[in-house]
Structure 1
Amino acid sequence: MPASPEKQEKEQPRRRQARGERRIAQLLEAAANVFCTTGYTAASTSAIAREAGVSPGTLYQFFPNKEAIAIELGDRLMHEMRDTYGEALAPVDPATPLEEAVAAAVDRFIDFNCQHPVFFALMHGPDIPGRITEEHDALHAALVSRIEDLLSSFLPDTPPADVNRTAHMCLGLYKAGLELILAHEGAERDAYVRELKNALTRYLDPLVGEKLGGRRATATPAH
């Protein structure tokens, strides 16, 4: 039996909305590929439309310019990244050995960045939109705060300024290692991941090694 006119009227906007969402997802995926390949500055809406297999006119139905595409992509990635660091920097069981705690956090962050390499390209490009810069600064501050909370539970007598410095060093080491990791693939990428874990473990070991697991960490030799 044919649907009533009223039901058809309700279904048509939903179908248009679903088609629109699929098209937006298609354009964002294409933009991610272009940003990773050429960088944000050199990317163009024409290149993004070509990558998506649509006309520039179709792209402009959804986004007025390249900056709007980058902001939408950045917003979605920021939301997912916040979920990731919420899991990665959750409170640690005091019985957990230091190297295991470090490895678990690093693996979650590395997995996110390897799945979404455009996140690094957008967050660290030389000419990213101002709104993305602001969002990135807020994310950085939130990450430092979460790392501070994590460290404070094992260093209750350490002055806040020292904990803050240690948190900044941890995040700085991670970002430096991430750039190298994303620049390699396969076995070489895995090797750099191990190096990053070792660097963080050895840095933190004198500070919290005896607090975690009741013994000092035994990092795997780097070479």
Structure 2
Amino acid sequence: MSANREQVSQDDRDRQEKEQPRRRQARGERRIAQLLEAAATVFTTTGYTAASTNAIAREAGVSPGTLYQFFPNKEAIAIELGDRLMHELREMYGEALAPVDPMTPLEEAVGAAVDRFIAFNCEHPVFFSLMHGPDIPGRMAEAHDALHATLLSRIEGLLSSFLPDAAPADLNRTAHMCLGLYKAGLELVLAHEGAERDAYVEELKNALIRYLDPLAGDRPGHPGAPGTAP
């Protein structure tokens, strides 16, 4: 019996020793998430340049010393936050900008894509603040440039469903225009709330649709295409 109890006791100790690092890791991950959430609030409110680690620690309800256990400076915080948001955005636009059936109404395709991107940016307003601020950290700028290039490629893929005969240079130019229009509209969307924000979202969709509609006018299924039933 004594040997059995000793074995059970040893097993308990072994299990506890294995669980302790996992618990510490889980606590650390929760603390990092807490700090990143606080940083998002501070960066959105004050901008990256004016933000400080003290302000982030204060927003998180922890001491600066606790913050420095996980991040050496605000640049490291911004980079980690930006990396996580860009990863989430990549997953989202893979679906939002997937090629569609050419018979899909242009309004439906544009509306669905805009809704997904607006939802992401409204949920994470810090993304716009970080990526379009004047003093974005160099590593983030490089990652954003790569994201921008991939995003343009995805937009070209979506547009090719509606502009199958467009030359590559024309398709690339149209994708640049669409992204530029979206960014300009997004700034207005984020500057408003409630019904006024919704109104700007609709204006943004209308601007994109009215820009693209003449270009897609001859595609099959378009109301103005030759041979299409009225």
Superposition TM-score, scaled by structure 2 size: 0.91
Q: Distance in 1 between matches of 2:119 and 2:38?
A: 21
- Residue 46 of structure 1 pairs with residue 54 of structure 2: yes
1:133 alignment partner in structure 2: 141
Equivalences for residues 132-211 of structure 1 within 5 A: 132-211=140-219
Q: Distance in 2 between matches of 1:66 and 1:212?
A: 53
The CA deviation at 1:128 is: 0.9
- Residue 97 of structure 1 pairs with residue 110 of structure 2: no
Alignment gaps of 5+ in structure 1 = 218-223
Equivalences for residues 71-90 of structure 1 within 5 A: 71-90=79-98
Alignment gaps of 5+ in structure 2 = 1-7, 226-230
The 1:4–1:171 alpha-carbon spacing in structure 2 relative to 1, beyond 3 Å, is: same
Give, as a single letter, the amino acid of the residue that structure 2 aligns with 1:195. E
2:100/2:161 contact within 8 Å kept: no
The CA deviation at 1:210 is: 4.4
Percent identity of paired positions between Structure 1 and Structure 2: 83
Q: Distance in 1 between matches of 2:44 and 2:85?
A: 14
Give the aligned length: 217
1:71/1:131 contact within 8 Å kept: yes
The CA deviation at 1:122 is: 0.5
For residue 101 of structure 2, give the secondary structure of its aligned residue in structure 1: coil
1:20 alignment partner in structure 2: 28
Q: Deviations over 1:74-115 (max 9, x none)?
A: 000000000111111011122211111100000000000000
1:11 alignment partner in structure 2: 19
2:65 alignment partner in structure 1: 57
Q: Distance in 1 between matches of 2:158 and 2:224?
A: 18
Give, as a single letter, the amino acid of the residue that structure 2 aligns with 1:139. L
Q: Distance in 2 between matches of 1:45 and 1:161?
A: 45
Q: Distance in 1 between matches of 2:23 and 2:76?
A: 24
Q: Distance in 1 between matches of 2:160 and 2:59?
A: 47
Q: Deviations over 1:36-69 (max 9, x none)?
A: 0000000000000000000000000000000000
The CA deviation at 1:209 is: 4.1
2:97/2:157 contact within 8 Å kept: no
Q: Larger Rg: 1 or 2?
A: 2
Superposition TM-score, scaled by structure 1 size: 0.93
- Residue 124 of structure 1 pairs with residue 132 of structure 2: yes
Give, as a single letter, the amino acid of the residue that structure 2 aligns with 1:62. F
- Answer 1 or 2: higher relative contact order, Cα 8 Å, separation at least 6: 1
Q: Distance in 1 between matches of 2:51 and 2:224?
A: 48
1:220 alignment partner in structure 2: none
Which is worse superposed, 83-92 or 111-120? 83-92
2:96/2:113 contact within 8 Å kept: yes
Q: Deviations over 1:135-186 (max 9, x none)?
A: 1111111111111122223323222111110000000000000000000000
Task: Give the RMSD, CA atoms, in angstroms.
Answer: 1.5
For residue 189 of structure 1, give the secondary structure of its aligned residue in structure 2: helix
